[in-house]
Structure 1
Amino acid sequence: MTHPHLAVETDGPVRTLTLDHPEKRNAQTPSLWAALAQEARSVPDDVRVVVLRGAGEAFSAGIDTAMFTPEGVPGEESIAALAAGGAEGIQRGIAAYQEGFTAWAQCPAVVVAQVHGYAIGAGFQLALAADLRIAALDSWFAMRETSLGLVPDLGGTGPLVHLVGYARALEMCATGRRITAPEAHGIGLVGSLAPAADLEEATESLVDALLAAPAPALLALKPLLRGAMEGGRDAQLAREREAQTGLLQGLLGGADA
């Protein structure tokens, strides 16, 4: 276990990472993002599929909102402390946070997000960081950062626009509304749906289908297809950081750079 709220299990060519803080609906923190980045970079060569999932009632409720309070989360950097570092400090911090999401694109294994309950904010962005998404029929997604006066800044804006188009992405992020699993499937956000009771079995079937492909072909396919759609990835990440920097400074009174 690399983090107290991240369980890692390996079964032959399949590694399963479970966000394991169900009492807080798998709320996320910077230390968890650092652990996710480390896991993405250290997947063994013989692991061909990684499954990201959540324990308890939901995939993830997003960022731990206690980080926005003066007290923060014990052992974690608060958002107020981040904002106090000025523009350069904010962008360095966000760049480190983004690694917990963007590192999965460079992971050689195919990454599958198994979503149940809900995936909100950072939870939604973690699902977007995966190569494939499978969801329970009664699950839902929401990008709620704008309701806090912020923007999504954990690598999710690029994949979202690629998957659903600019207009839909704008509407989803601006309104923060719920996107039901059937709607998500209909617009290409989710590739597969299953009744909640059958989600584990459906995920296993998807993983088995991926493993049925010859290993060298699957290994070559992921970077080939990602390369076709990610020409502006670094620039997009920088735009996320820059937009969030100004918003955080305005909300929390951070020092000027």
Structure 2
Amino acid sequence: MSNHVSCTISEGIAHVRLNRPDKLNALTLDILEDLVSTARELLRDKTLRAVVVSGEGDAFCAGLDFASVMRDPAGVAKAFIPRPLRGTNTFQEAPWAFRRIPVPVIAAVHGHCLGGGLQIALAADFRIATPDSRWSVLEGKWGLIPDMSGIQALKELVGIDRAKLLTMTA
């Protein structure tokens, strides 16, 4: 695991922290892989009672760090390849793996919760946010499809009709 994702367990409560505060916890390919492996480790822990996902510093997660990710075109291409067991790619599996954990997963959101960060928060069972948190998915403005499983989670959380309404209003 990189030093940009930490996981500590105390009294059955796992604390998963994005730890890249200088970049508002923006996601890199390594962080996405670390989130997948962390969720898989937690899935195997039978003593676990809950998981809290949070971000260090001023933000929960500012989304994908495009500058960092685009420096590795081969890594991006590999990250889009579906994994054989689940059929999800790395971008999708990073949030979706937390949905498979059989205990409550809580996203503790503060500051920016953007793009991929929002999709990670949507994968949690509960989202607790500070009043000053800022949530947004900007992919639609750029002609991109937000495909990290957040749209599927949003549809399940609020229903397809409300999800479409929410994605169409600015």
Instruction: Check conservation: 1:54, 1:60, Cα contact below 8 A.
Output: yes
- Contact 1:15 1:49 (C-alpha < 8 Å) held by counterparts: yes
Query: CA deviation digits over 1:101-122, x for unaligned, max 9?
Result: 1111211221100000121000
In structure 2, the residue matched to 1:61 is: 62
Aligned counterparts of 2:31 and 2:127: Cα–Cα separation in 1: 21
Counterpart Cα distance in 2 of 1:45 and 1:92? 28
The residue that corresponds to 1:211 in the other structure is none
Change (3 A) 1:55 1:90: closer
- The 1-side partners of 2:3 and 2:134 are apart by 26
| Identity of matched residues, % | 34
Paired residues, what number? 164
Indicate conservation of the 8 Å contact 1:144/1:173, yes or no: no
Match of 2:128 in 1: 134
Deviation for aligned residue 1:95: 1.3
> How far off its partner does 1:167 sit?
4.1
CA contact (8 A) 1:49 1:109 kept: yes
Structure 1 gaps of 5+ residues are 178-257
Q: Where in structure 1 do 4 or more consecutive aligned residues deviate above 6 Å?
A: none
More helix per residue: 1
Alpha-carbon distance between aligned partners in 2 of 1:121 and 1:9, rounded to the nearest angstrom = 25
**Residue identity matched to 2:24:** R
Q: Answer whether contact 2:54 2:60 (CA < 8 A) is retained.
A: yes
The structural deviation recorded for 1:168 is: 3.8
Q: Which residue of 1 aligns with 2:32?
A: 33
Secondary structure of the corresponding residue to residue 89 of structure 2: helix
Q: Hey, what's the Cα distance between the residues in 1 that align with 2:58 and 2:47?
A: 31
Counterparts of 1:167 and 1:142, CA distance in 2: 19
Structure 2: state its 5+ residue gaps: none
What residue identity is the alignment partner of 1:98?
Q
Alpha-carbon separation, structure 2, partners of 1:27 and 1:68: 10
Match of 1:113 in 2: 107
Q: 2:164 maps to what in 1? A: 170
Q: Of the candidates 119, 124, 144, which is equivalent to residue 125 of structure 1?
A: 119
- Return the alpha-carbon distance in structure 1 between the equivalents of residues 5 and 148 of structure 2: 18
